[in-house]
Amino acid sequence: MNIKMGVAKAGIKPSGDYDILVVKFPLSVYSAVFTQNSLAAAPVLYDRLVCEIQDRISALVINSGNANAATGQKGFENAEKMVEITAECLGLDKSEVMVFSTGVIGVQLPMDKVENGIKQACQNLQDLDLELAARAISTTDAFYKYYQTTGMIDGEVFTVKGIAKGAGMIHPNMATMLAYIFTDVKIDKDLLDKATKLVVDRTFNSISVDGCESTNDSFVVVATGESRVEINDSNRVYFAKKLYEVALELAKMIVKDGEGATKLIEINVF
């Protein structure tokens, strides 16, 4: 897949580790699911507007260390500013960019650091490195969460890759987590939306650590259409199973990493 990424240490995280991730890909069909928390964070509010007007996107910009939640109008303006900076650096229309944040709640983003970090990340694009990308979006995670698989339809191979972060405030209706899955299949938005909802209901909306539903939960599936595999009514179930495989592995990693957790319990209801 022709997916590029850039990371930066902008100084948002107290640890000084990577805290900005920019992901760039060809203009692609996508599907997104967000928290149902009535106090959704500024990036979630912004991205919901993108979903209303845009069927395809070309980039994601994510910061960790600050959730940009409970930050009011200023927080929304800062989320939009992150999009504008990214779009300008990558030569894209701002409507093609989605923004995400994770970290401390109730603190305004240090926009000077964020701006410098985004510019640095955009200037140093490289091939998608799942481990490094997962590292850049992590906060209290004990380990980096990423997984990939391949499938075959009519003799043609396709790929599904994903990253995630999350350890606490995990509960159905999305958890305090960010997750992104990338695939190179050709698929229309209606089919992708159906597959995404099916997968989310059986993975990220079926896990719980502490019963707390967060403000920033976001899950995005991007389909670049670069492979020769075209998803239709006859093979959509097989594709959904591969999407499910990646999402399930990421969801289980989040539960295993639950803050203070020592056991992973899986309950099957018949």
Beta bridge partners of 243: none
Domain total for the chain? 1
The confidence score (pLDDT) of residue 167 equals 64
| CA pair distance 206, 222, nearest whole angstrom | 22
Quote the CA–CA distance of 138 and 116 in Å, as a whole number. Answer: 20
44 within 8 A of 227, measured Cβ to Cβ: no
> How does pLDDT run across 19-60, given as a tens digit for each residue?
999 999 999 999 999 987 778 899 999 999 999 999 999 999
* Contact predicate 163/137, CB 8 Å: yes
266 is a domain residue? no
Is position 110 within any domain? yes
Q: Give a yes or no: residue 114 inside a domain.
A: yes
159 — phi, psi (to 5°)? Answer: -120, 145
Tens-digit pLDDT profile for residues 53-112: 999 999 999 999 999 999 999 999 999 999 999 999 999 999 999 999 999 999 999 999
Distance CA 71, CA 48 (A): 17
| CA dihedral over 179, 183, 205, 38, signed as positive or negative | positive
269: buried, middle or exposed (CB in 10 Å: 19+, 13-18, 0-12)?
exposed
Q: What end-to-end distance do the CA atoms of the chain give, in Å? A: 39
pLDDT in tens, 182-196: 999 999 999 999 999
Give the pLDDT confidence of 211-260 residue by residue, as tens digits. Answer: 455 677 789 999 999 999 999 999 999 999 999 999 999 988 987 866 55
What are 223's two structure tokens?
A: 């389909």
Q: Residue 170's domain spans which residues?
A: 4-256
Q: Is residue 63 helix, strand or coil?
A: strand
Residues labelled catalytic: 176
- Tokens 């670069």 identify what position? 226
- For residue range 107-142, list pLDDT tens digits in order: 999 999 999 999 999 999 999 999 999 999 999 888
Residue 265 lies in a domain: no
The Cα–Cα gap between 103 and 94 comes to: 24
Classify residue 155 by burial, with Cβ atoms within 10 Å: 0-12, 13-18, 19+: exposed
Write out the E strands in the chain: 4-8, 20-34, 56-66, 97-104, 126-127, 145-153, 156-165, 178-183, 218-223
CATH of the domain at 235: 3.60.70.12
Whether 263 maps to a domain, the answer reads no
What does the block give as tokens for 270? 């018949």
Residue 192 resides in a domain? yes
Beta strand 156-165 with 178-183: parallel, antiparallel or unpaired?
antiparallel
105 assigned to some structural domain: yes
